[in-house]
Amino acid sequence: MAMKAAKFLHFLFIWLLVCTVLLKSADCHRWKKKIPEPCKNLVLYFHDILYNGSNKHNATSAIVGAPKGANLTILTGNNHFGDVVVFDDPITLDNNLHSTPVGRAQGFYFYDMKNTFNSWLGFTFVLNSTNYKGTITFNGADPILTKYRDISVVGGTGDFLMARGIATISTDAYEGDVYFRLRVNITLYECY
Ligand SMILES: *[C@@H]1O[C@H](CO)[C@@H](O)[C@H](O)[C@H]1NC(C)=O
Ligand SMILES: *[C@@H]1O[C@H](CO)[C@@H](O)[C@H](O)[C@H]1NC(C)=O
Ligand SMILES: *[C@@H]1O[C@H](CO)[C@@H](O)[C@H](O)[C@H]1NC(C)=O
Ligand SMILES: *[C@@H]1O[C@H](CO)[C@@H](O)[C@H](O)[C@H]1NC(C)=O
Ligand SMILES: *[C@@H]1O[C@H](CO)[C@@H](O)[C@H](O)[C@H]1NC(C)=O
């Protein structure tokens, strides 16, 4: 029994030695995975109209959390730090709020920097049109003042089964604190 264990340890030692030598001499970069070619690309827009106390019928999002003492119909000072907004926004193929929606963008964002405008997005595109059926789920940091921001496409269903990729978002319009429109350029690197 002891003999067997010793033999095994000996073998293990030799194997580790061989591995170490091989790894050292190999060019580490050769093991790095190459980024694949994109397999799908689409550009969509979504429109967010924040509830401000008097636009109930038109609003598509609402402040649901705010720092203590702050108002749920007015975004806070301090670059809106601490405000949490839940949304159910229409998605359109072009930049017109009144175009026929192809789906809904559903999720939330919160403002997470005190000294500049910065938010974090977590949402799903729920698409049910003749062109697209299925969902795409996104999340990531959104440094709002930067023209183009990349967030992650973390998954999908239906036409976008197990989608993975990047979405480049940009603010296409901004009207006061009530309305903004985001352009979302979705590039998928994994498609089925
Ligand atoms: C809320 O927004 C609507 C639409 O932009 C605007 O007409 C209205 O005056 C705003 N109300 C308040 C209380 O700011
Ligand atoms: C809804 O709100 C948006 C953004 O404030 C505005 O452009 C649009 O005219 C409003 N629509 C109606 C029907 O009030
Ligand atoms: C928010 O502020 C507005 C304007 O100052 C006020 O009319 C409203 O009652 C406030 N709402 C809450 C929930 O404090
Ligand atoms: C998509 O739209 C069709 C036709 O309007 C409807 O029958 C179906 O239930 C919808 N599916 C989802 C997931 O909303
Ligand atoms: C979308 O993003 C991809 C990848 O960054 C880029 O190649 C493409 O030109 C963009 N498309 C549009 C319409 O902006």
Q: Give the ligand 2 atom nearest the CA of 97.
A: 7
Q: What is the pLDDT of residue 51?
A: 98
CA distance 99 to 75: 28
**Residue 4 binned pLDDT confidence (cut-offs 50, 70, 90):** low
State the pLDDT at residue 80.
Answer: 96
CA of 132 to the centre of ligand 4 (A): 11
Instruction: Tell me what the mean pLDDT of segment 181-189 comes to.
Output: 98
Other beta carbons within 10 angstroms of residue 40's beta carbon come to: 14
Cα–Cα distance measured from residue 125 to residue 102, given in angstroms and rounded to the nearest whole number: 10
For ligand 2, say whether the CB of 96 is within 6 Å of any of its atoms: no
What per-residue confidence (pLDDT) applies to 101?
Answer: 96
Residue 20 pLDDT > 80, yes or no? no
**Residue 56 and residue 73 in contact, taking contact as beta carbons nearer than 8 Å:** no
- Indicate which residue's Cα is closest to atom 11 of ligand 1: 54
- Ligand 5 pocket, residues with Cβ under 6 angstroms: 41, 43, 168, 185, 187
Please report the beta strands in the chain, taking only residues with DSSP state E, as ranges in sequence order: 40-49, 61-65, 84-92, 103-111, 119-128, 133-142, 149-158, 164-175, 179-190
Q: Cα-flanking dihedrals φ and ψ of residue 9, to 5°?
A: -60, -40
Report how far ligand 1's centroid is from the alpha carbon of 55 (Å).
Answer: 6
If 0-12 CB within 10 Å is exposed, 13-18 middle and 19+ buried, where does residue 181 land? buried
Q: Cα(53) to centroid of ligand 3, in Å?
A: 8
**pLDDT digits 0-9 by tens, 38-90:** 999 999 999 999 999 999 999 999 999 999 999 999 999 999 999 999 999 99
CB half-sphere exposure, 109, CA atoms < 13 A: 24
In whole angstroms, what is the distance from residue 103 CA to residue 49 CA? Answer: 16
**Binding pocket residue ranges, ligand 1, CB within 6 Å:** 52-55, 178
Best probe residue, ligand 5, of 35, 37, 41, 153 (max atoms within 8 Å of C-beta): 41
Q: Are 73 and 61 in contact (CB under 8 A)?
A: no
What pLDDT does 36 receive?
Answer: 87
In this predicted model, what pLDDT tens digit does every residue of 118-164 receive, in sequence order? Answer: 999 999 999 998 889 999 999 999 999 999 999 999 999 999 999 99
